[in-house]
Amino acid sequence: GAVVSQHPSWVICKSGTSVKIECRSLDFQATTMFWYRQFPKQSLMLMATSNEGSKATYEQGVEKDKFLINHASLTLSTLTVTSAHPEDSSFYICSSRARDTQYFGPGTRLTVL
């Protein structure tokens, strides 16, 4: 399968600060990446589709000004949680699509104090 890395694996920040999460496809080029969020003991919910060289497509209910997505190259997409609040604490997972399959990064656990 394809390898997707994510950094950092966990982060703790104060309320009001911004946090950037990186998602890299290591052994293939991905024109499309996806960002999901998972609350404890729940399923994964799609937040947005990240398209290389163009604007991301956000799902209904996801604030695009709060969750900034940048897909500047074929191997890197970033998610920035701006002015984070405790309710943003969650497990954020990215995926890259390769050969009709999505491969997931290891996830980033965000805790906002």
Chain residues binding another protein by CB under 8 A are: 1, 31-32, 34, 42-46, 49, 51, 57, 59, 91, 93, 95, 97, 100-107, 109
Q: What is the rounded distance in angstroms from the CA atom of residue 46 to the CA atom of residue 60? A: 10
Token pair of 11, please?
A: 């982060």
Is the CB of residue 11 less than 8 Å from the CB of residue 112?
no
Choose between 16 and 63: whose C-beta lies nearer to another protein.
63
Choose between 89 and 102: whose C-beta lies nearer to another protein.
102
- Shortest Å, Cβ 16 to another protein: 26
Choose between 14 and 99: whose C-beta lies nearer to another protein.
99
Beta bridge partners of 102: 97
